[in-house]
């Protein structure tokens, strides 16, 4: 389960600040054909949205859980009945619903693509099981006890909720076979499993892929219209080789997109004919890296190398990864930990900052692909800008915004706050909140620009190799990590460098 905090801090329910003693959990579904949790979060995080607020949404596209209220905060999720309101006792979580259904009246709907709809229902059901197991453990609840884990429909039947039929109406009309009894039993079973493995914001490398071959093929064609057909033809190997070792093949494919420049190999240390799609063996500048006889063998080696980082389990296939033995086994079970700078043990696949986050940005783009549409029609992956005191202080978050200018305005309204991207990088800071830091530059030819972005002119000077002090960070064109203002240029604010080319000291 991937759990992301996205508190609805502008919703009047949150600002009311009322707390509850949690004695139960209530499961809802949103009641409209919208699989994207972000649509609700963006709409509800407003002072004008004063009639509803839940503790979490489960995204229908990838199963991500977004926590939108503190768990012990009184929500507005179920209304009331003849015996009071479940808002006073129960956490409320909404599952998003398939885009291919159409409501015809009340809880009745038609479905244009039953298989796709069932896949969404399965994804949200399984994520809800994990989430409810975690919450039951957290609050010492027995999911099989009377009235502890209930649906909105069951809440109405008990007299503590308004007259809704969710989520049973969705499950029954789609023919999923799910019931609240089966759900409660699944939660109980999950409590005995490794629920403690859940890490907020963590994306496990081990597990079943969520993306399909079609999504990955459509994504790469959209990013690189000239991608060789041989690359498209080898995509199924990511899933089959991943399945053989229990590694998410879609994570491996996203990593390959990053390492090869979407298989254009521009600036890459490897070439297409090496069948090395992850820079394996490139341990220093100028090294050519490993070569493999076939694309399948290259992908197999990459999968095995990922398993070395993510798991202590032995390989199921013969080892063809010549560098498997050099990995500190199990040191990076989450994608976020593949970068050495973000890894708790300082280990990891790559030394560059935000490496795992870059892979996840690509992965989210792949998962957002709607099958059956052309690459040109595919949406760009969503980016959220979070306003906090520090990245680690999630409780201080004032909001999450799709528009950078809105996030900056929120930070400006709250002295001491900064804007962070989804990988925890500081993009903007309000007055009095920024702390200068050091970066190391390993190239003699890092351009200094007059403003934060490639749309600003060059000064004609280079930093040279060395360590430099950054006194401000701003987003801008041409740099995923943002642009840093050099201390020696602070007075006139006319000396900026791309932080993509640096290492934080």
CA distances from 97 to 79, 187, 385, 449, 466 (A): 21, 21, 25, 47, 52
Pair 169, 290 in one domain: no
Q: Is residue 202 part of a domain?
A: no
Q: Is residue 376 part of a domain?
A: no
Please say which residue of 147, 169, 197 terminates a domain: 197
Pair 177, 60 in one domain: yes
Pair 96, 125 in one domain: yes
Using the predicted structure, report yes or no on whether residue 200 has a pLDDT greater than 70.
no
Pair 224, 313 in one domain: yes
Pair 280, 397 in one domain: no
Using the predicted structure, report yes or no on whether residue 432 has a pLDDT greater than 80.
no
* Mean pLDDT across 445-462: 88
What is the pLDDT confidence band of residue 194, given thresholds at 50, 70 and 90? very low
Per-residue confidence (pLDDT) for residue 433, from 0 to 100: 59
CB burial class (10 A; 0-12, 13-18, 19+) of residue 225? exposed
Judging by DSSP bridges, how do beta strands 108-111 and 101-105 pair with one another? antiparallel
Pair 343, 224 in one domain: yes
The CA distance from 175 to 343, in Å, is 43
Pair 390, 319 in one domain: no
Alpha helices in 246-395 (DSSP H): 249-260, 295-310, 355-367
CATH of the domain at 237: 1.10.530.10
Give the alpha-carbon dihedral of 402, 408, 410, 411, to 10 degrees: 130
Per-residue confidence (pLDDT) for residue 199, from 0 to 100: 41
- Tens-place pLDDT, residues 365-382: 888 776 565 555 555 555
Q: Is residue 374 part of a domain?
A: no
Instruction: Give the other-Cβ count within 10 Å of 317's Cβ.
Output: 11
* Mean pLDDT across 141-151: 96
CATH of the domain at 103: 3.40.80.10
- Tens-place pLDDT, residues 391-404: 667 677 887 776 77
SS3 label, residue 8: coil
Per-residue confidence (pLDDT) for residue 177, from 0 to 100: 95
* Mean pLDDT across 219-246: 94
Least confident of 151-165, 343-357, 386-400: 386-400
Contact 134, 198 (CB under 8 A): yes
Q: Any idea what the Cα angle at residue 371 is, between residues 296 and 298, rounded to 5°? A: 10
pLDDT averaged over the chain? 87
- Tens-place pLDDT, residues 156-172: 999 999 999 999 999 99
> Which residue range(s) make up the domain with 95?
3-197
- The β-bridge partners of 94 are 28, 57
Q: Is residue 208 part of a domain?
A: no
Percentage of residues of the chain with pLDDT beyond 70: 91
Tokens encoding 83: 């015996």
The CA distance from 409 to 387, in Å, is 10
Using the predicted structure, report yes or no on whether residue 59 has a pLDDT greater than 60.
yes
Contact 55, 95 (CB under 8 A): no
Please say which residue of 138, 171, 197 terminates a domain: 197
The CA distance from 430 to 246, in Å, is 44
Cis amide prior to 172 (ω within 30 degrees): no
Q: Is residue 256 part of a domain?
A: yes
Q: Is residue 378 part of a domain?
A: no
- Tens-place pLDDT, residues 80-89: 999 999 999 9
The CA distance from 363 to 402, in Å, is 18
Contact 299, 317 (CB under 8 A): no
Instruction: Give the other-Cβ count within 10 Å of 477's Cβ.
Output: 11
For residue 31, give the DSSP letter.
S
Q: Is residue 450 part of a domain?
A: yes
Pair 157, 273 in one domain: no
CA distances from 139 to 71, 202, 233 (A): 10, 22, 49
Pair 226, 307 in one domain: yes
Pair 223, 190 in one domain: no
SS3 label, residue 25: strand
Please say which residue of 143, 172, 197 terminates a domain: 197
Percentage of residues of the chain with pLDDT beyond 90: 53
What is the pLDDT confidence band of residue 307, given thresholds at 50, 70 and 90? very high
Instruction: Give the other-Cβ count within 10 Å of 283's Cβ.
Output: 11
Pair 344, 471 in one domain: no
Q: Is residue 206 part of a domain?
A: no
Least confident of 74-88, 107-121, 384-398: 384-398
Least confident of 199-208, 312-321, 453-462: 199-208
Pair 191, 255 in one domain: no
Per-residue confidence (pLDDT) for residue 201, from 0 to 100: 45
Q: How many domains does the chain have?
A: 3
The CA distance from 148 to 133, in Å, is 12
Between 420 and 168, the more confident residue is: 168
């Amino acid at each position: 389960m991937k759990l992301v905090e996205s508190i609805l801090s502008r919703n009047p329910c949150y600002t009311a600040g009322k707390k509850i003693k949690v004695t139960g959990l209530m499961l809802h579904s949103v009641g409209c054909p919208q699989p994207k949790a972000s649509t609700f979060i963006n709409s509800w995080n407003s002072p004008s949205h004063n009639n509803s607020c839940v503790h979490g949404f489960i995204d229908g596209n990838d199963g991500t859980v977004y926590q939108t209220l503190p768990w012990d905060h009184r929500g507005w999720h179920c209304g009331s009945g003849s015996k009071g309101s479940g808002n006073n006792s129960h956490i409320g979580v909404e599952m998003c619903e398939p885009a291919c259904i159409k409501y015809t009246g009340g809880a009745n709907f038609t479905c244009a693509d039953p298989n796709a709809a069932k896949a969404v229902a399965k994804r949200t059901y399984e994520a809800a099981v994990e989430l409810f197991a975690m919450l039951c453990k957290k609050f010492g609840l027995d999911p099989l006890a009377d009235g502890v884990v209930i649906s909105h429909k069951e809440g109405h039947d008990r007299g503590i909720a308004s007259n809704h039929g969710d989520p049973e109406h969705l499950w029954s009309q789609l023919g999923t076979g799910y019931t609240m009894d089966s759900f409660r039993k699944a939660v109980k079973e999950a409590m005995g499993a490794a629920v403690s493995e859940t890490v907020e914001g963590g994306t496990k490398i081990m597990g079943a892929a969520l993306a399909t071959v079609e999504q990955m093929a459509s994504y790469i064609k959209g990013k690189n219209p000239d991608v060789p057909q041989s690359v498209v033809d080898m995509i199924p190997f990511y899933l089959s080789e991943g399945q053989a070792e229990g590694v998410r093949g879609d994570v491996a494919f996203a990593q390959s997109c990053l390492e090869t420049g979407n298989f254009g190999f521009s600036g890459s240390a490897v070439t297409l004919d090496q069948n090395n799609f992850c820079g394996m063996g490139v341990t220093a500048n100028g090294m050519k890296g490993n070569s493999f006889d076939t694309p399948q063998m290259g992908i197999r080696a990459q999968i095995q190398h990922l398993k070395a980082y993510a798991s202590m389990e032995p390989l199921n296939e013969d080892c063809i990864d010549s560098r498997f033995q050099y990995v500190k086994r199990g040191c990076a079970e989450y994608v976020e930990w593949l970068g050495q700078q973000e890894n708790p043990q300082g280990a990891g696949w790559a030394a560059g900052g935000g490496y795992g986050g870059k892979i996840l940005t690509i992965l989210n783009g792949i998962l957002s692909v709607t099958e059956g549409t052309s690459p040109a029609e595919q949406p760009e992956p969503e980016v959220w800008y979070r306003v906090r005191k520090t990245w680690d202080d999630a409780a201080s978050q004032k909001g999450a915004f799709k528009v950078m200018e809105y996030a900056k305005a929120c930070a400006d309204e709250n002295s001491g706050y900064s804007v962070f991207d989804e990988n925890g990088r500081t993009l903007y800071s309000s007055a009095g909140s920024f702390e200068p830091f050091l970066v190391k530059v390993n190239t003699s030819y890092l351009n200094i620009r007059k403003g934060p972005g490639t749309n600003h002119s060059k000064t004609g000077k280079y930093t040279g190799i060395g360590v430099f002090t950054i006194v401000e960070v701003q987003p801008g064109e041409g740099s995923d990590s943002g642009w840093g203002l050099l201390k020696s240029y602070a007075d006139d604010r006319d000396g900026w460098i791309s932080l993509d080319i640096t290492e934080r000291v």
